Structure 1
């Protein structure tokens, strides 16, 4: 059984100056939210991680 087709993810955007990767544009955005996560393993030892969220509204136009 096959899964429904999903649209391809396109990580590049055409700009007037040329082709730019979305990750390059997002690197310039400041972190908006930091969230600490703490978990315990099966032995009861604590471990943690920090989730950093950044977002920005970007207009992406389809290629002509």
Structure 2
């Protein structure tokens, strides 16, 4: 039974890896700057005491 599970596992993991590679290609293809700006704006609303823009962007992206 373990061999059958292992035989099934590798193609599933390969397909999942292919989906991840395809998704990463789509993410890189499209400009995601607007989502970063949205995250920074949300962080500014959440933590208005953070005054430096670099800090806010770093915290929003992480």
Q: Give the alignment's TM-score, normalised by structure 2.
A: 0.31
Structure with the larger helix share = 2
